[in-house]
Amino acid sequence: MAGVILHYPFGPPPPDTDVLFRCEAKRYSVVIDADADRYGVTDPQLEMTWWRVHKRTPKGAWVCDRFVLLTATKRWACETEEEALASFIARKQKHISILSRNLSRAQADLALAYRTHPRAALVFA
C-alpha cells in the first residue's frame, strides 16, 4: 500500500492474532473558538481498524458480536489490509454514484419548477 497513509487508532494488531480489518475515513470535531461557540471538523484521515476474530466458520467469522460473511462480495471486514482498503474504495465509489444520481434528480426537479413558473427564480433567489 505504497503512498497511502493509514492511521491505526488501536495500534497494530498483536502478532499471531487472528483479526479482520476495516478501513474508514474519519473526521473529528474540533473547537475553533469556545467563547464564540464555533466548531469545525478535521480533514479526513484513513483509519484501519482491526477486530479480533472470536470464532471462525467455513463461511465467515465472528468479530465483536457480528458475523462477517467472508464469501460475500460486500464484507463488513476483510482478511487483509489491502482487501479492506479495496472494500473502502468500492464503498465510496458506490456512495458517490448514488449521491450523483440524487443530485441529478434534484437539479432536474428544480429546472422543471423554473420552467413551469419562470418567476420562481426571482422569488426564491
pLDDT attached to residue 37: 86
pLDDT attached to residue 4: 64
pLDDT attached to residue 84: 96
pTM passes above 0.85: no
**pLDDT surpasses 80 at 103:** yes
The per-residue pLDDT for range 9-66, each reduced to its tens digit, is 999 999 999 999 999 999 999 999 888 889 999 899 999 999 999 999 999 999 999 9
**pLDDT surpasses 90 at 2:** no
Of the candidates 113, 120, 91, the residue with the CA atom closest to the CA atom of residue 22: 91
pLDDT attached to residue 104: 97
